Structure 1
Amino acid sequence: MVPTKLSPRHRDLKIAVVGIPGKWSSELLADALAAHTGFKLIIDLGEVSADLTNNRLIYRGQDLTELDALVIKKAATRYHPGMIDRLEMLRIAEAQGVKVFSSAEKIIRLVDRLSCTVALRQADIPMPQTLVTENLDAALEAVHSLGEVILKPLFSTKAKGMVLLSAQTPLKKLREQLFDFQKEQGFFYIQQKIHLPNQDLGLMFLGGQYQGTYARVNQKHAWTTSTETGGKYAPAEPQAETLAIAERAQAVFKLDFTTVDMAETADGPMCFEVSAFGGFKGAYDALGINIAERYADYVIQQLQATK
C-alpha cells in the first residue's frame, strides 16, 4: 500500500516496478515512484502472461501495456537463463508505447556474463585475463597458465556459484573440480584471480551521470568481497582513472541506472562487470544515499520530456 502521508505530484502517471514483491530494493523503488504518482505496483515477471495475439501483457488482471512506464529492478530471485525470456516479454509493452527503464533489449545484453564481457572487451575496457570454453582440457590448461582462477557461472550475482581454483591442486582433483563445475554450469568462464586491496568498488551511474562510489570490503580469509560471504559496504573515492574507465564501461550499454564493478589493482584499474540492474544497498548503507529516490525523479523527468 502507498503511505498515506505522500503528496503525489503526477497523479496522471502509472509507473510500475518490475521486481520482487516484498523485497527491500523493489519496495524502496516502488515507494519512491508512488511518492510522485500515488500509484504502486510491483510486478513479478514469473506471473506475467504474454498474449501475443492481442499484444497484451497481463499481470494479476492488469494489462501492463496500459501503463505509462515500467522500471526494471529484478527479473527473478536468482539469475538463470530463463530471465532472458522473461525480459523478452517486456518488449511487447515497449512496442505498445510503454517506456521501460532500462529497455529490455539493453538489459538482456548484460544478464549473460559472457555477453557483457565480450562487449566490454570489444570496447577495450581493462578486465582480468579471461578464458571461456566448453573444452575441459582447455580449461585445465588455463588454470595452470593463470595460476589461480575463479570459475564464474554465466548467470549469477553476488559471487553465487563461483569457485576458486589453484594450479597447485593435484591434477586429478583439479580435473574433478572442473568436471563438476561443467556438469552443473555447462560453460567454463575462467577469470584470473587478481590481488585486491581487500575491497572492490561499485560506481553508480544514473542517465549516464556519475552518482557516487561505495566499496565492498572483504572479511579476513575471504577471497570474495561479496556481502553474501560477509563483505561490508563502506564509502569510497575512486581514482580519476578508475572513474574514467567506469564511465566508458557503462556507456557501452547506455542503461538508465547501473553499477560498474571495479577494482584498483597494482596493474591499474580493472572492470569486473556492468550490472544489469544496479544495486541500491551499497549507496544506502555506505553513503546514506537513497538512489531509488533519484531514480524515481529521473524517470518522471524523462516521461515529462517525451510528452
Structure 2
Amino acid sequence: MAKPKIGIIGLPGKWSTETLADAIEQRTGFRLIIDMAKVKLDIASGKLLFGQHDLCALDGLIIKKISSKYSPGCLDRLELLRIAEKAGVRIFSRAENVLRLIDRLSCTVTLANAGIPMPDTIVTESPEAALDAVQQYGSAVFKPLFSTKARGMCILDASLKSGELRNAIAEFQQDNPMMYIQRKLALPGQDMGLVFLGGEYMGSYARVPKGDSWNTTIHSGGHYAACSPPQSTIDMAHRAQAAFGLDFTTVDVADTDNGPIVFEVSAFGGFRGAKEGANFDAASAYADYALRELQS
C-alpha cells in the first residue's frame, strides 16, 4: 500500500511547522509545507493549487498555522480548505471546526453554551456599556476578537478619571467595533495549557509570566514549566475541547479562588509548550495519529 501524501499548512521556516513536516517526512518520505498566502482556488476546475501541487489530490492536510496572526482573513483561508475536504482530503483539524476558534467571540459563545466556566465577560458595541463593565469589574482586560499571544490587548482600570477612561475605550474601539471585555483576575503566578490529541488528554504545561507582567505569554517574556493539574481540571478541559471536535488542541486554564476557569481552546495547539513543559513530542504524536486516521 502506497504511503499517504500529507501536506503541512504552516509558516515555512518556523520551528513548529518544520518539526511537524520533519515528522511526516520521516514516516512517509513526502514533504510539503504550504503557505496559504500562495494558494489559488480555481472554482471552474475544482483545483486548489499551491505551485504545481493540487491540494485536492493529497491524502491529508495538517493545519499547524493558518497565518502568523489571527485576522478575519484567516476565515477566508479556511474556507478555501473546505474545497479540499469536499474532494475527500482528510484535514486535521476540519476547517469548519477551526473556523469556530479563530474568532474569540465564536469560541466564547461555544464554551458558554457548553457550560464551561470562564472569566466574567461582557461583549458590546456600546461605549457606555463598556464603561459600565470597567466600573463593575474594577479592572478589565479588553481583547481583540482576532489575536494571539495577547497582541492588541489592554487593561483599563476604574481608577482612571472618567474622561480618560472614555478616551481609552474610544481608542480601543477604533480597531475593535465589537468590544470583548473580561474581568482581570488575580492568578496564582501561572496559567496552564492542557494538551489533547484525538480528544485524549496527553499532558499539561504551565506558562509562568516574566516579573510582574499581567499576562503569561511567551511573546511577553514568560516561560514554560511542568505542572500537574487535578483530575477535576483535566475533566473540565476535556469537556471544553470536546465542544469543538479538534484533532489536536491546547485548552488554556487558570486556577482562581472560585475554581478553575477556561480562557480559550486553541485552534492549533502549542508544540513548544508541550515539549518544554510537558515533555511531550507533539509533532511525532500528531504525525502517528494522522497516519492511523488515514489508514483506518
2:276 to 264, 285, 288: 285
Residue in 2 that maps onto 1:211: 202
Partner deviation per Cα, 1:257-299 (whole Å, 9 max, x = no partner): 0000000111100000000111101011123321110000000
Within the alignment, does 1:31 sit opposite 2:16 as a pair? no
> Match for 1:86 among 52, 60, 77?
77
Match of 2:139 among 137, 140, 148: 148
Q: Work out whether residues 70 and 98 of structure 1, in 8 Å CA contact, stay in contact via their aligned partners in 2.
A: yes
Deviations 1:28-87 (A, max 9, x none): 111111111010011011110111111110001211111000000111111111000000
**Match of residue 231, structure 2, among 236, 240, 247:** 240
| C-alpha distance in 2 between matches for 1:174 and 1:61 | 54
**Contact (CA 8 Å) 2:140, 2:181: kept in 1 or not?**
yes
Moved over 3 A (4+): none
Aligned to 2:123: 132
CA distance in 2, matches of 1:135, 1:55: 43
* TM-score scaled by length of structure 1: 0.95
Structure 1 residue 206, shift from structure 2 partner = 0.2
What's 1:3 paired with? none
Q: Please report how far the alpha carbon of residue 11 of structure 1 lies from its aligned counterpart in structure 2 after TM superposition.
A: 5.3
Q: Is the 8 A contact 2:195 2:250 kept in 1?
A: yes
Q: What TM-score does the superposition give when structure 2 sets the normalisation length?
A: 0.98
For residues 37-186 of structure 1, what are the structure 2 equivalents within 5 Å?
Answer: 37-186=28-177
TM-fit CA distance, 1:167: 0.7
Task: Give yes or no for contact 2:203–2:280 (8 Å, CA) kept in 1.
Answer: no
Contact between 1:260 and 1:271, CA under 8 Å: does it hold in 2? yes
Is 1:17 matched up with 2:5?
Answer: no
Deviates more, 1:10-19 or 1:108-117: 10-19
CA deviation after TM superposition for structure 1 residue 144, in Å: 0.4
- Unaligned 5+ segments in structure 1 are 1-9
Query: 1:22 & 1:178 partners in 2: Cα distance?
Result: 38
Task: Give percent identity, aligned residues only.
Answer: 52
The answer to whether residue 185 in structure 2 is matched with residue 194 in structure 1 is yes
Provide, for residues 126-185 of structure 1, a one-character-per-residue CA deviation record: whole Å limited to 9, x for no partner: 000001011111101111011111000000111111101111111111111111110012
Aligned residues: CA RMSD: 0.9
State whether residues 20 and 287 of structure 2, in contact with CA within 8 Å, keep that contact through their aligned partners in structure 1. yes
Structure 1: how far apart are the matches of 2:280 and 2:174? 42
Question: Quick one: distance in 1 between partners of 2:89 and 2:17?
Answer: 19
Aligned residue pairs, count: 296
